[in-house]
Structure 1
Amino acid sequence: MSSQQPQSQSHSYSHLLPPSWRSKITSWLQEDCPSFDWGGYVVGEDDKKATLWCKSEGILAGVPFFDEVFKQLDCTVEWHYSEGDHLKSTDGRKIKVAVATVKGPARKILLGERVALNTLARCSGIATASRMFLNKAREAGFKGIVAGTRKTTPGFRDVEKYGMLVGGVDMHRYDLSSMVMLKDNHIWSTGSVKKAVAAARSACGFSLRIDVEVQSHEEAVEAIEAGADIVMLDNMEGDQLISCANKLKQDLSADNKVGGYKFLIESSGGIDLDNVAAGGHVDGAIDIISTSSIHQSTKHVDFSLKIEPSS
């Protein structure tokens, strides 16, 4: 399923998660309570009900992670909104939306509270930033792929990449094994773009794409002629970027030239919400815009979990 298509009833992004993700949540719970649970001793095992409140506008994302935290603690979660919903104020006042209800022993609700909230807040923040960036690019006329990057938090990649998907953008490569990306250090270490591409193809075979970061039109031509599937025009913008992209497509693309090459052009480097439209990144010759702005230094969506007081 394309990462830029909405979820359907028969497809859920949660189905993409690897078997290892549940064990990560176990380790997060262990990290948060490595020995005695003093607060849990205070509240005990009485069954309680808690409300998950959303207190800032954003896209709801991270439902499977929130659910699993409380499943491991023998609690239940009832959602009042669906993943991907835009949570916002309905009357123009400060937002306060009851998103879900959690039921279970008081100490177990509180054992999971911080792990669940941190994960949901981060994932929802990335989904929100992704949706905003995608909308801005579309409004500017960009019809290609908007993608995140691999600049994720170690140990938290599943959550952050998942947030991109819910927000509607492409995850780009998930890890070093997902796609071959040859950056400046690979080129310098090998000696040339041509040598680096040839070495990569000899190992990865036909099943993986090769994406080559280039610094100039000349390097881009070398990469395409060497067999690169994607050329990343790194840190180019404005007239330089548009001119280079269009010249590559006109001179080398199989769509415009008999015996030409099949390749995609990616624009990357310093692209954010403020400059995606104004910085000259939007053009028909550009197939992919990749950015780390949707998951680095991203504002979280504010959630809280409040246990209902005893009657």
Structure 2
Amino acid sequence: MSTSSAANFADLLPPSWAQVIPQWLAEDCPSFDYGGFVVGSAPREATLWAKSAGILAGRPFFDEVFRVLGCEVGKKGEKVKVATVKGEARKLLLGERVALNTLARCSGIATASRRFLDAARAAGFKGIVAGTRKTTPGFRLVEKYGMLVGGVDAHRYDLSSMVMLKDNHIWSTGSVPAAVASARSVAGFSLRIDVEVQSVQEACEAIEAGADVIMLDNMEGQTLIDNARGLKEKYANAGRQFLLESSGGIELGNVKDGHVDDAIDIISTSAIHQSTQHVDFSLKLLPASS
């Protein structure tokens, strides 16, 4: 079980993040706690074990679950024995599944993110690798946190972050320039505008309208590379500043096949957080005689 660098990603979390933890606990135990009745309130200690390889991510959420329940988490730092938790037996088990599910999901995303990033770098990609906004409702903070711990960019966090204009926005306004102009009128100078395009013509329209990022959606192979190079060459001396993003169907197994080129600035993927295998953890109480 490896950890991230010395960076304290917990410092990124907003002041309100912990408010969701009691809601998670209430969802998991909405009425009687039958198992808690069985074990009682005697003080006990439990050990958090890592049962599969991966990157440890999500400790702030794990810690907060048990803090809310009045338990104390101690870090072990070993490869397999990750932490200990001390508190009333029933409260250790009350927080067990909520804490483990969160830790397993977050660590799984961090691990998948690191593997994808390593594969892209091994293939020669020097640009930005980013996750998408295709996250689980109500669980976005945990999933985006896992991406950051894994070393990839979290892309836009929500609809109020970067402005992304997709096909529906273009169709609704009638043209790429009209959509970009409308977005810029309210986004001002502080927000980037990312436009999803289906062709080189639309890409040129977006660039000339002042878009900051051009997403070459579902283009791949030599077609993607030729289009990206052509756009960079066309506007090299035109005073246009923009980034080119490749997106759509990019996975660990195909990232090196037609998505890597110096003309491409960003690779965005949902493969690092959708259908991602969790890292396996277990929480075991020490025997009562210990």
- TM-score when scaled to structure 1? 0.90
Query: Which residue in 1 is equivalent to 2:20?
Result: 24
Structure 1 unmatched ranges of 5 or more: 1-5, 88-96
Query: Which residue in 2 is equivalent to 1:139?
Result: 122
Provide runs of 4+ in structure 1 moved above 3 Å.
none
The letter of the residue matching 1:206 is F
Establish whether residue 302 from structure 1 lines up as the match of residue 271 from structure 2: no
- Displacement of 1:303: 0.4
Map 1:97-116 to 2 at 5 A: 97-116=80-99
Establish whether residue 264 from structure 1 lines up as the match of residue 247 from structure 2: no
Structure 2 unmatched ranges of 5 or more: none
Deviation by residue 1:113-157 (Cα, 9 ceiling, x = unmatched): 000000000000000000000000000000000000000000000
Structure 1 residue matching 2:270: 3-state secondary structure? coil
Please point out which of 287, 291, 295 is paired with 2:265. Answer: 287
Query: Which residue in 1 is equivalent to 2:206?
Result: 223
- Displacement of 1:42: 1.1
Deviation by residue 1:240-288 (Cα, 9 ceiling, x = unmatched): 1000000110111xxx31x42000000000000000012x000000000
Structure 2 residue matching 1:58: 3-state secondary structure? coil
- Displacement of 1:310: 1.4
The letter of the residue matching 1:69 is V
Establish whether residue 127 from structure 1 lines up as the match of residue 110 from structure 2: yes
- Displacement of 1:23: 1.0
The letter of the residue matching 1:266 is E
CA distance in 1, matches of 2:137, 2:247: 22
Query: Which residue in 2 is equivalent to 1:93?
Result: none
CA distance in 2, matches of 1:196, 1:235: 21
CA distance in 2, matches of 1:14, 1:163: 11
Query: Which residue in 2 is equivalent to 1:41?
Result: 37
CA distance in 1, matches of 2:218, 2:147: 22
Establish whether residue 188 from structure 1 lines up as the match of residue 145 from structure 2: no
The letter of the residue matching 2:225 is I
Q: Report if the CA contact (8 A) 1:52-1:100 is conserved.
A: yes
The letter of the residue matching 2:209 is A
CA distance in 2, matches of 1:178, 1:109: 38
Structure 1 residue matching 2:74: 3-state secondary structure? strand
CA distance in 1, matches of 2:75, 2:124: 36
- Displacement of 1:7: 4.7
Query: Which residue in 2 is equivalent to 1:63?
Result: 59
Query: Which residue in 2 is equivalent to 1:276?
Result: 255
Establish whether residue 13 from structure 1 lines up as the match of residue 9 from structure 2: yes
Query: Which residue in 2 is equivalent to 1:3?
Result: none
Q: Report if the CA contact (8 A) 1:182-1:212 is conserved.
A: yes
Structure 2 residue matching 1:101: 3-state secondary structure? strand
Q: Report if the CA contact (8 A) 1:7-1:13 is conserved.
A: no
The letter of the residue matching 2:245 is E
CA distance in 2, matches of 1:81, 1:272: 32
- TM-score when scaled to structure 2? 0.97
CA distance in 2, matches of 1:175, 1:119: 21
User: How many matched pairs?
Assistant: 286
- Displacement of 1:35: 1.4
CA distance in 1, matches of 2:239, 2:266: 20
